[in-house]
Every structure is written in structure tokens, then in C-alpha cells.
Amino acid sequence: MDEKTANTKMNEAREHLHAAHENMHKVAEAMIPEGMREHQREARKEFLLGIRSLLDVAIEHAEKQPK
């Protein structure tokens, strides 16, 4: 298989995987009640805000270190 054919096959595989991911996401959303999805979104946001706080502290600590 030449390089062009291999690249074409890789792109085709990526497209199929992307389509499969989107469809699985739609199925999962249909199975989960809206209230639970909302709770999940809020929990994800709180988790990310916690990570942001940890990163802010780490950055402040790194900035205080002597150069």
C-alpha cells in the first residue's frame, strides 16, 4: 500500500470513528434523564474550577521561587 492510499484509509477510519463517537453520545444522552445531565454538567464545571484553583496556586508558587 502506498503512502497516499494509507493516508486516505487513515482519514476514512478517523471519519468513521468520529461518526461512531457522535452517535454513541446521542444514544447516551437519550438514555440519561435531563436532570441527571444537568447535574453532570454542574459537577464537571465544579471539577474544572477546582483544577483551575490548583493551577493558580501552583503558578503563584512557581512565580515566588527565586530565579
pLDDT tens digits in sequence order for the chain, 67 residues long = 788 888 899 999 999 999 999 999 999 889 999 899 999 999 999 999 999 999 999 999 999 998 7
Q: Which are the contacts of 59, defined by CB distance < 8 A and separation ≥ 6?
A: none
Q: Which are the contacts of 29, defined by CB distance < 8 A and separation ≥ 6?
A: 37
pLDDT of residue 8: 92
- Compute CA distances 31 → 24, 27, 28, 45, 61, whole Å: 11, 6, 5, 22, 44
End-to-end Cα separation, the chain, in angstroms: 53
